[in-house]
Amino acid sequence: MTVQLRAKRQPVPSSSHREVVVVLLGRPGSGKGTQAQFLADSGWSHLNVGGLIRSEVAAGTSWGRYATTVMLRGDLLPSSEIQNLINRSYDQSKLPLVVEGYPRRVHEARTLPDLFGATTIRIPVFLDLPRAVSVSRLTTRLVCQACGHVTREGTSPTCPRCAGPLTSRADDRLAGAVRRRQALFESQTLPLIAFYRQRGELELIDATQDEAVIHSDMLHRIEARCRRIWADSIGRRDEWDWAAFPFMANTRLTATALRSTGQPATAEASLREAEVTETLTAYEVAADSYAAKTREFNGNSSLKAELDSLAAHTTGDLLDAGAGAGRDAWYLAGLGRQVMALDASPGLLRRIAPHPCIRKIVGDVRKIPLDDASVGGVWCSAVLLHLDPAGVQRALREFARVMRPGGLAQVSVKEGRGHESTPMAGFPGYRRHFYYYQAHELRHFGRLAGLRVVRDWSDDEADSSTTVQRWVKVLLRKPWS
């Protein structure tokens, strides 16, 4: 199991601690492995049945030699053999779990309660991909020999995740085997899809979309299914199936949304606003201590060089979006630039010492109180990590609106996946909410906002708690036309 420590594992909702098993279904090349790895990176256990088989093959066992013969024909291994392999390899204490490569047939679906426990919440997710796209992907697919990451021919000579060597899978190189696998999917697994659909259990996702969009959609569907099942278990479906997930951690926010709207239909948006309000309140209360902690750059920080670069490659006023106590705004002003220091916390803005080149603005990055095309560039360090994906996209659209054509925006957030809430250091009664992102998500959000991705990279920087964190950064340009 791969665990990315920067992302917090999402608890599974249930008063009886029922765990979740997500079953990924789809044609070969539909992205099952990629989506399973996304969940594994955020703390889920990953049962890759195909990987288990390939390990047996690589080890040269008699079972592996038998499996090789079957796979090179493009056939499926007998169900009993797969079940025995799972029983030998799977630790039932490791939940929640994402399963890739099993079941593939209707009768195998009926074995899941025995394999993973009768009380688990089992969610089949179908990554729907047209046959022609599946064949095209298989013929260009490369797999890292070191970490198993999947990529495509022509994207990189080595693995983009770990720099390991890339190779194609033997069953992808044989045209006959590829056709046979497609035929087997249609004859064996499509009936399984129909079986789950008839039971009202199937979650269907368009697998031609960007992988980050698929991941976000899948998480939303998993959460929604867990909400409904949790609500059914306490007999309160109509009242609670929309409630915040995970339930116990968000009880107070759920109550806040109910008080403020009274309508479940608008509660989700209200919950997100409640998170922003609570985070902002924490900064207001802790303004003095937070300003003191963020007054100076860390000794080995790369931020100064990045600020220098932004200043050198832009003209006109600069917007420091989420200026906090003003460290970065002061640095830019010291380079002779006019800076608009924007922050939603009046308390933090008051901690910015007066400077003739700095104009302080109280405002939300999702609705910036500036005219269209009024700044030459945007510096946005950290503030977007307090926003959910919809909020990040709104902010990036605002950056695109207020920038002049050709303007640059540098955005940085903490790298990871998931969402967590933590007490404000020194003020345990106040909490901040954090969302973690990957580079491909920021690239995607930038493009949705109409911006061009110049480059993206990751860097280690100390945050306000002086803890060194991994940050993902992206430089975006507003097109000239």
Q: CB within 8 A of 235, min separation 6: which ones?
A: none
Looking from the CA of 312 toward its CB, the CA atoms found within 13 Å total: 6
The count of domains in the chain is 3
> Looking at the structure, do residues 386 and 459 belong to the same domain, yes or no?
yes
Closest to 171 (Cα-Cα) out of 39, 74, 284: 74
Same domain for 73 and 149? Answer: yes
Q: What is the mean pLDDT of each run of 10 residues along the chain (481 residues)?
A: 31 45 92 89 84 86 86 79 82 76 90 80 92 86 75 70 72 68 89 91 90 85 75 55 45 50 53 83 90 86 94 96 95 96 93 94 94 97 93 96 97 88 83 90 93 93 69 95 74
Domain holding 342, by residue range, is 287-477
Whether residue 434 is contained in a domain is answered as: yes
Residues 271 and 341 occupy one common structural domain: no
Question: Residue 188 domain-assigned?
Answer: yes
Span between the terminal Cα atoms of the chain, in Å: 47
pLDDT at 396: 97
Query: Could you tell me if 337 and 311 are in contact, meaning their C-beta atoms sit under 8 angstroms apart?
Result: yes
Same domain, 299 and 385: yes
Q: Do residues 272 and 418 both lie within one domain?
A: no
Q: What residue spans of 117-210 are helical by DSSP H?
A: 131-140, 170-173, 175-184, 190-198
User: Are 203 and 347 within one domain?
Assistant: no
pLDDT number for residue 137:
85
User: Is the residue at 428 inside a domain?
Assistant: yes
Do 295 and 224 reside in the same domain of the chain?
no
- The verdict on residue 10 lying in a domain is no
Going by DSSP bridges, is the β-strand pair 427-436/468-477 parallel, antiparallel, or unpaired?
unpaired
Same-domain check for residues 117 and 162: yes
The single-letter code of the amino acid at 377 is: G
Q: CATH number, domain at 370?
A: 3.40.50.150
Instruction: Answer yes or no: do 345 and 426 share one domain.
Output: yes
Report the alpha-carbon distance of residue 130 to residue 135 in Å, rounded.
9
Which tokens go with 294? Answer: 């963020």
The model carries a pTM of 0.51
> For residue 452, is it within any domain?
yes
Tell me, yes or no, whether 69 and 213 share the same domain. Answer: yes
Residue 224 sits in a domain whose CATH number is 3.40.50.300
Q: Cα–Cα distance between 343 and 361 in angstroms, integer?
A: 7
Kindly state whether residues 114 and 218 are assigned to the same domain: yes
Please give the Cα distance from 267 to 250 (Å, whole number): 12
Q: Is 14 among the domain residues? A: no
Task: Give me the helices (H) in 73-174, please.
Answer: 79-89, 106-109, 112-116, 131-140, 170-173
| pLDDT attached to residue 95 | 67
Q: Residue 88: CB partners within 8 Å, gap ≥ 6?
A: none
Q: Is residue 11 part of a domain?
A: no
Same domain, 354 and 429: yes
Residue at 367 is within a domain:
yes
What pLDDT is stored for residue 268 in this prediction? 58
